[in-house]
Amino acid sequence: MALLALLVQLAAIKAPLGDADDARRALLLYSYLLLLAFVALNLGRPGIAIIGAGLLLNFAAIVANEGLMAITPETILRTGPLPHDAVTGEWVRGSKDILLEREDVRLWFLTDRLVWDPISSVIRAFSIGDVVIVAGVIVTLVELFMPRLREEPSRPANGAAAQP
């Protein structure tokens, strides 16, 4: 389910859906609903619950900005030049973002407003929700690998496996 959601999100960002972005917005919202359903089915895992919190923060920002994640020209300019085809009020090609002036952004504090030295040409900015999602992924990876470390049988000094 999570993989399907990520593929839907990739389609929303990269598919040639034309200039009208209604389909793009719908796909992005649908991908978040799939991801949130996956989280709901896996709430017993603390890392997944943390990922879910980050997804909810991003989903709130996306819903508040009519189906796309808002980003301001000032935020983009902190990472490099504005894309040559960027138009205020429209989808930023190759992203999940809509370019909005700061005063037009709803839930600005949850949108793509954080920058770190340009990570790549793909990742221009990120949100608080993205930070929470990364924390959840780290916790999930630790959860997956730590039990394996604890389960390894202790070995005596001579290298033979310990007898139960």
Residue 149 confidence (pLDDT): 56
Determine the angle formed by the axes of helices 46-64 and 128-151, rounding to 10 degrees.
Answer: 170
Write out pLDDT tens, residues 84-95: 889 999 999 888
Residue range of the domain that includes 116? 2-148
Is residue 154 domain-resident? no
Q: Which residues contact 89 (CB under 8 A, 6 or more apart)?
A: 98, 99, 100, 104
Is residue 40 domain-resident? yes
Is residue 164 domain-resident? no
Is residue 157 domain-resident? no
Is residue 51 domain-resident? yes
Q: Which residues contact 158 (CB under 8 A, 6 or more apart)?
A: none
Is residue 158 domain-resident? no
Is residue 159 domain-resident? no
Q: How many domains does the chain have?
A: 1
Residue 116 confidence (pLDDT): 81
Q: Angle at CA 126, nearest 5°, toward 125 and 130? A: 165
Q: What tens-digit pLDDT sequence spans the chain (164 residues)?
A: 899 999 999 999 898 887 778 999 999 999 999 999 999 999 999 999 999 999 999 999 999 999 999 999 999 998 888 888 899 999 998 889 999 999 999 999 999 999 987 555 656 799 999 999 999 999 999 998 886 655 555 555 665 555 55
Q: Which residues contact 91 (CB under 8 A, 6 or more apart)?
A: 21, 24, 68, 97, 98, 99
Is residue 44 domain-resident? yes
Q: What kind and span of H or E run contains 146?
A: helix 128-151
**Position 146, amino acid:** M
pTM for the whole structure: 0.84
